Amino acid sequence: MDAKRWLALAAGKAAISISRRLGRGGSAFPGELARRLDPDVLAKLARDLPQGTILITGTNGKTTTARMVAKMLELAGFRVAHNRSGANMISGITTALVQAASLWSLNGDGRAADHDIGLAEVDEATVPRAARELRPRLILVTNFFRDQLDRYGELRHVAALVAAGIGALGAVPTQGGAGYAPAAILNADDPLVAGLAGAGGAGTGVFFYGIADRALGNAAGIQAADARHCVLCGESYIYDTVFYAHLGHYRCPSCGHRRPDPQVALVKAESRGLAGWFLCVATPAGEVEALLPAPGLHNVYNALAAVAAASTLGIPLAAIRQGLEGYAAAFGRMEVIPIRGRQVCVALVKNPVAFNQMLRTVMNEPLRQRPAAIGQAAVPGAGADDAPRDVHAADEQAPVGAGPTGRCLLTVINDRAADGKDVSWLWDVDFEQLVPRAGEFAFIHAAGIRAEEMALRLKYAGFPAGRLAVRKDIGEALAAAIAATPPGRMLWVLPTYTALLEVREVIHRWGFAPHFWEV
């Protein structure tokens, strides 16, 4: 018996249990404690997982993709150890495996009996270390967008970190078996990601996923300068189709580097508005048709990435389809929470690409619709002092469509370390797209530490000042925005990362949302 491992596990588990009882998420501290007691604890726990570990990284879509993969694996009968809370630094990943590992029941061969496979979403800068300790069998990369330059540095540097992780992939031994051949699963439509294909060793497989259906794209050209230039020779790419940002069908006129043909390809997609998408995905094992209950083209990419991972693992097509159809958004990833008859949709916006995608989704909300049948049942704690007061109480009996209508949007911008201390990225968001349709907005409220910067950005975009309001305190701003939203309508809440945590606290204090570790 490994006393250090046992002690680290026991202490980590105790810390998890205590921090929960204190009502805190505590995703990092238990893992830190366990690592202090046994620096190899994560490597040991990962080795104990009989089916190995899957590592998911990239700028956007890690949490959503990992949730979809988890669902598919569970439907296929795997017991999954997963950092569901989204704590994706080394300590958070350790916490998740500490929580999943069993303290007492080991198999005869010393392996954990209660989980089959590990699933870790990993912060880009943590990839080299996580890859070393987890020894994953798959590394899936979603995309590389400009994000928090003050923290990660330039995009090429981020790509190099992930390349180092892929380069460190090796055959994963299994007990008595031949082991798993390692593989990288890459987004063919992102030249910076597809460019990682050569990063692995000779024994590392490479699988691509991408959108084949060109009806989803346009030839309008790319806005962001993230990946304008060929990763091999530096010449400007020619894009035959752009889906969004620098994702599309590209080729280099100079050296011939081009988008690789993906093994997992989106053949067809039909938007069902806010209800999501109908997708038809080709995989080596056959086609999958599914209704994906998540709107936005970015979620199509998340779904494709998940299908590619599951398909590489040999998950049956039925489980893949059910996994897509049964996907439930995590808090802050467009989960809709009914509050006082309004639908509050909270979606993390941490960089320009994510923000642009969400603005597009907001603009696609049908303006006159029947309110969804959502519960107005008494909710415990809903009477808290700072809970939203209902200025529209009289409207609730009114016919649908009466009273003020229009899009309702609350932005919550913080500039703490985890948000990026540099808010200049707001100026790379395409708020100008809102201006021709500014009349469709009931309001845009700005909250958070840098609310004033957001208001300034909207002013210079040309958004009418009369529909803008700044209210820095997040609780007050959320209550006011809910009150200003007509019953039955959607309030879009778009926070940065630490702002999302505060929004969650406020909503939880009112008694409406689960804590994220219970999800």
Partner 1 sequence: MEVRICYLYPEMMSLYGDRGNVLALVRRAEWRGIAVVVEEVGVGEATDFSRYDIAFVGGGQDREQALIAEDFARRKREDLLAAVEEGLPLLAVCGGYQLLGRFYRTADGQELPGVGLFDAWTVAGAPRLIGNVVVESDLFPEGPRTIVGFENHAGRTYLGAGAKPLGRVVVGHGNNGEDGWEGAVYKNAVGTYLHGPLLPKNPALADWLLRAALARRYGREDAEAALARLDDAIEEEAHRAAIRRAQETAANGAVRRSV
Name the residues that contact partner 1, by CB under 8 A.
149-150, 153-156, 225, 228-229, 234, 415, 421-428, 449-453, 455-457, 459-460, 462, 465, 470
Q: Is 240 helix (H, G, I), strand (E, B) or coil?
A: strand
Helix (H) / strand (E) element for 36: namely helix 29-37
Burial environment of residue 368 by CB neighbours within 10 A (0 to 12, 13 to 18, 19 or more): exposed
Helix, strand or coil for residue 15? helix
SS3 100: helix
Nearer to partner 1, 259 or 450 (CB): 450
Q: In 257-415, where do the E strands start and end?
A: 264-271, 277-283, 286-292, 333-339, 342-347, 407-412
β partners of residue 474: none
CB of residue 422 to partner 1, shortest distance in Å: 5
Q: Whole-number minimum distance, CB 325 to partner 1, in Å?
A: 40
At its nearest, how many Å lie between partner 1 and the CB of residue 432? 9
Q: Could you tell me which of 413, 454, 461 has the C-alpha nearest to residue 437?
A: 461
Q: How many CB atoms lie within 10 A of CB 301?
A: 28
Cβ proximity to partner 1, 95 vs 414, nearer residue: 414
Task: Rank residues 90 and 426 by Cβ distance to partner 1 and give the closer one.
Answer: 426
Helices (H) and strands (E) in the chain, counts: 15, 17
What minimum distance in Å lies between the beta carbon of 466 and partner 1?
12
Considering the complex, state which of residue 197 and residue 456 has its C-beta at the smaller distance from partner 1.
456
Mind giving me the DSSP string for 38-99?
A: -TTHHHHHHHT-TT-EEEEESSS-HHHHHHHHHHHHHHTT--EEE-TT---SHHHHHHHHHH
3-state SS string over 385-428?
CCCCCCCCHHHHHCCCCCCCCCEEEEEECCCCHHHCCCHHHHHH
Tokens found for residue 142: 């979603």
User: In the chain, what is the greatest distance between 2 CA atoms, to the nearest angstrom?
Assistant: 70
Which C-beta is closer to partner 1: that of 150 or that of 261? 150
* Cα–Cα dist 206/198, whole Å: 9
Closest approach of Cβ 44 to partner 1, in Å?
34
As measured in angstroms, the least distance from the Cβ of 257 to partner 1 is 16
Measured from the CB atom, is 4 or 459 closer to partner 1? 459
Closer residue to partner 1, CB minimum distance, 140 or 155: 155
> Least distance to partner 1 from the beta carbon of 454, Å?
9
Euclidean distance between CA atoms 169 and 207, whole angstroms = 14
Comparing C-alpha atoms, which of 221, 218, 271, 268 is closest to residue 243? 218
> Measured from the CB of residue 495, what is the shortest distance to partner 1 in angstroms?
17
Residue whose CB is less far from partner 1, 78 or 431: 431
Q: How far is the CB of 220 from partner 1 (least distance, A)?
A: 15
Q: For residue 209, what are the contacts with CB-CB under 8 A and spacing of at least 6?
A: 185, 186, 187, 188, 262, 263, 264, 265, 304, 305, 307, 308
Report yes or no: 224 and 428 within 8 Å, Cβ to Cβ: yes
Give whichever of 208 and 425 is closer to partner 1, judged by the CB atom. Answer: 425
Whole-angstrom Cα distance, residue 81 to residue 191?
Answer: 31
Task: Give dist(CA 310, CA 303) in Å, integer.
Answer: 11
State which residue, 272 or 421, has the beta carbon closest to partner 1: 421
Cα–Cα distance for residue pair 199/209, rounded to 1 Å? 17
CB of 176 to partner 1, least distance (A): 49
Minimum separation from the CB atom of position 83 to partner 1 (A): 28
User: Which of 207/237 has CB closer to partner 1?
Assistant: 237
